[in-house]
Amino acid sequence: MPDNNPKTLFIASDHGGFALKEYIKENLKGRIQLKDLGTNSEDSVDYPDFAHLLAGQVAGLPEASGILICGTGIGMSITANRHRNIRAALVHDQFTARMAKEHNNANIIVLGGRVLEPAEALELVQIWLDSEYENGRHQRRLEKIENRNLNSTRDVSAPIDRVDPEISRLIRQETEREESKLIMIASENCVSQAVLEAQGSALTNKYAEGYPGKRYYGGCQFVDQVEQLAIDRACALFGAEHANVQPLSGSSANMAVYFSVLNPGDKILGMNLAHGGHLTHGAFVSFSGTHYQSCYYGVDQKSETLDYDVIEEIALREKPKLIVAGASSYSRTLDFPRFRAIADKIGAMVMVDIAHIAGLVVAGAHPSPVPYADFVTTTTHKTMRGPRGGMILCRKQYAARIDKAIFPGLQGGPLMHTIAGKAVAFKEATTPEFIATQKQTVTNAAFLASCLQKKGFRIVSGGTDNHLFLIDLSDLPVKGQSAEAALDRAGITINKNGIPFDPRTPTDPSGIRIGTPIASTRGMREAEMEIVADCISSVLKHPEDNSVITETRATVRDLCSRFPVYSYRL
């Protein structure tokens, strides 16, 4: 079945509706393909879990519909109707089944398993499926369900699916992609509903050039408090003396640090891009390589890990003004005290870029650089699980220079809705749930890497201490580009990635990068990583075998439906 089959029909029940669900499935088999979302036995369960699950799926897929069954149908219909764009109709007889479609265009039919005879219930489903929505005057009424402001000419409360169906459809399709595929891109994560709400709030309207209490615009009394909360929470979370939460991205955070303490032409020492460093650490295609003199350290060819004695030699020889630690595809723990000691030998400053590992640092799953670094930069959207953006932490002595580098140095008005999202994410990051998830992220990565090793794959550096690892495909027929494509077709999204000393080009490198943040945020653990290892292994060994791809896609889809990203969406 294609990803966006417009006729997708879901079915779900609780224990009270289980028998009827099985009966309906059995009798519709062959005519209509039903996607069963559970429950799978008569053991007692809670109906809202299944109603939310099904309603979320129906709301997220264009033209999908669903059948919900509980004892009376009442609880299921109350729950499903909490979802936007859901019209769940509890029907009792042929007339209400027909009207539910003709007048109300119900996209969910709800049945009482203890109210209806099975044959009768089946007939109601059939009537509902066969009936046609009349449209006309009913459409106005349906729109009034979702939108109470129809008479205004400036209809600001109209939902996006009315204002811009094209974009709305694409958002739904992207949401469905994120739900139904297992995203193992190491730099991605999925934020909470609370972060999404902050990001989608009226704060996007507000200009607030400057900093809390020192703005160049009026009306900042509330956004001042938002930004101050974000700053205070960031400082508390990382034990930092100062935080700037305005950087638009990880790259602009790094740029601001360079602008604050370096002059054009000054020397920076960063990790080689080809060994796992980031573009902004001195790569020649980035401002960091063109505006500054850059030199690099890399990993040892044999161990594929950093050799700090060699880094020290390079630092003593090159005498950079700033040493940058941090990486985008390095799977081992970074030794921050050693970076500090090396810098102190030549009087250099240290910037640590924890864009990838910030969440791990918060959870104590990776040592913190804060006591050792002059500057710590990060993105807020990777393991940190906040909105897309950046942040700078620094010692007090640099606070004024950093703030000036961001505004007015590099940016104009800050994105206050994003800063609100960052504040929410920082609050979430103090919860035991967040900390446990970060620890599980590391456990999952190590376990998945070891499962793949047992299947014969070579993991760069022999394993991982963090949330990611690289698979070296040199000895396989499939290489980075086709591995990425085949895995995506099978429902696992990763990225191709160079390995250290890669003889191949970045457009089709020898490796792929795999990360566990999203799988872990979704609640997956070792048992699921074992399934994922089987899937990755079969696809990499048979990348052109369509039956393997199809079978794997089904396995991944099933796995993903058991671990929803958003179990329901209001």
Ligand X SMILES: *Cc1c(COP(=O)(O)O)cnc(C)c1O
Looking at beta carbons only, is 290 or 567 nearer to ligand X?
Answer: 290
Which residues, other chains included, contact 17 with Cβ-Cβ below 8 Å and sequence gap of 6+?
68, 69, 70, 71, 76, 111, 112, 113
Minimum distance of ligand X from residue 6's CB (angstroms): 35
Minimum distance of ligand X from residue 178's CB (angstroms): 18
Which residues, other chains included, contact 357 with Cβ-Cβ below 8 Å and sequence gap of 6+?
366, 383, 466, 467
User: Does residue 278 bind ligand X (CB under 6 A)?
Assistant: yes
Looking at beta carbons only, is 187 or 272 nearer to ligand X?
Answer: 187
Looking at beta carbons only, is 116 or 273 nearer to ligand X?
Answer: 273
Minimum distance of ligand X from residue 255's CB (angstroms): 9
Q: Binding ligand X by CB under 6 A: which of 77, 246, 280, 461?
A: 280
> How many angstroms separate the Cα of 36 from the Cα of each of 22, 43, 57, 177, 354?
9, 17, 12, 19, 42
Which residues, other chains included, contact 314 with Cβ-Cβ below 8 Å and sequence gap of 6+?
269, 295, 296, 297
Q: Binding ligand X by CB under 6 A: which of 113, 250, 498, 511?
A: 250
Closest CA to 392 of 432, 428, 435, 422: 422
Q: Binding ligand X by CB under 6 A: which of 60, 66, 326, 491?
A: 326
Q: Binding ligand X by CB under 6 A: which of 4, 96, 173, 249?
A: 249
Q: Would you please indicate which residues are annotated as catalytic (active-site) residues?
A: 207, 209, 353, 379, 382, 388
Minimum distance of ligand X from residue 351's CB (angstroms): 10
Alpha-carbon span 458 to 474, nearest angstrom: 9
How many residues sit close enough to ligand X to count as binding (CB under 6 A)?
Answer: 14
Looking at beta carbons only, is 60 or 289 nearer to ligand X?
Answer: 289
Which residues is 375 bridged to in the sheet?
Answer: 351, 394
User: Does residue 328 bind ligand X (CB under 6 A)?
Assistant: yes
Q: Check: CB of residue 484 under 8 Å from CB of residue 149.
A: no
Minimum distance of ligand X from residue 357's CB (angstroms): 9
Q: How many CB atoms lie within 10 A of CB 279?
A: 17
User: Does residue 187 bind ligand X (CB under 6 A)?
Assistant: yes
What letter does residue 164 receive in the DSSP assignment? -
In the region spanning residues 290 to 309, those forming contacts with ligand X, defined by CB under 6 A, are none
Minimum distance of ligand X from residue 453's CB (angstroms): 25
Cis peptide before 39 (omega within 30 of 0): yes
Looking at beta carbons only, is 298 or 390 nearer to ligand X?
Answer: 390
3-class DSSP state of 525: coil
CA 137 to chain centre: 41
In the region spanning residues 482 to 541, those forming contacts with ligand X, defined by CB under 6 A, are none
In the region spanning residues 387 to 426, those forming contacts with ligand X, defined by CB under 6 A, are 390
Q: Which residue has the tokens 């690099």?
A: 296
Looking at beta carbons only, is 186 or 223 nearer to ligand X?
Answer: 186
Residue nearest to ligand X (CB): 250
Q: Where are the alpha helices (DSSP H) in 147-291?
A: 160-163, 165-180, 193-199, 221-238, 250-261, 287-290
Q: Which residue has the tokens 């958003």?
A: 566
The interface region with ligand X, picked from 39-47, 337-345, 352-360, 410-418 by CB under 6 A, is: 352-360
Token readout for 426 is 């920082």
The interface region with ligand X, picked from 29-37, 306-314, 322-330, 556-564 by CB under 6 A, is: 322-330
Minimum distance of ligand X from residue 327's CB (angstroms): 6
Over the window 190 to 229, marking each residue x when it contacts ligand X by CB under 6 A and - when it does not, the resulting string is ----------------------------------------
C-alpha gyration radius of the chain: 27
Q: Are strands 88-90 and 34-36 parallel, antiparallel or unpaired?
A: unpaired
Looking at beta carbons only, is 87 or 278 nearer to ligand X?
Answer: 278
User: Does residue 353 bind ligand X (CB under 6 A)?
Assistant: yes
Minimum distance of ligand X from residue 381's CB (angstroms): 7
Minimum distance of ligand X from residue 528's CB (angstroms): 25
Alpha-carbon span 406 to 269, nearest angstrom: 22
Looking at beta carbons only, is 57 or 383 nearer to ligand X?
Answer: 383
User: Does residue 275 bind ligand X (CB under 6 A)?
Assistant: no
The interface region with ligand X, picked from 142-150, 244-252, 336-344, 506-514 by CB under 6 A, is: 244-252
Looking at beta carbons only, is 326 or 564 nearer to ligand X?
Answer: 326
Tell me the Ramachandran region of residue 276: left when phi exceeds 0, alpha when psi lies from -120 to 50, beta otherwise. left
User: Does residue 359 bind ligand X (CB under 6 A)?
Assistant: no
The interface region with ligand X, picked from 299-307, 311-319, 325-333, 343-351 by CB under 6 A, is: 325-333
Looking at beta carbons only, is 57 or 378 nearer to ligand X?
Answer: 378
The interface region with ligand X, picked from 246-254, 304-312, 478-486, 495-503 by CB under 6 A, is: 246-254
Cis peptide before 6 (omega within 30 of 0): no
At residue 214, what is the residue type? K
**Angle subtended by helix axes 308-318 and 336-346, to nearest 10:** 20
Q: Where are the alpha helices (DSSP H) in 480-525?
A: 480-489, 517-521
Token readout for 542 is 């048979």
Alpha-carbon span 482 to 478, nearest angstrom: 6
Give me the residues that bind ligand X (CB under 6 A), please. 187, 249-251, 278, 280, 326-328, 353, 355-356, 379, 390
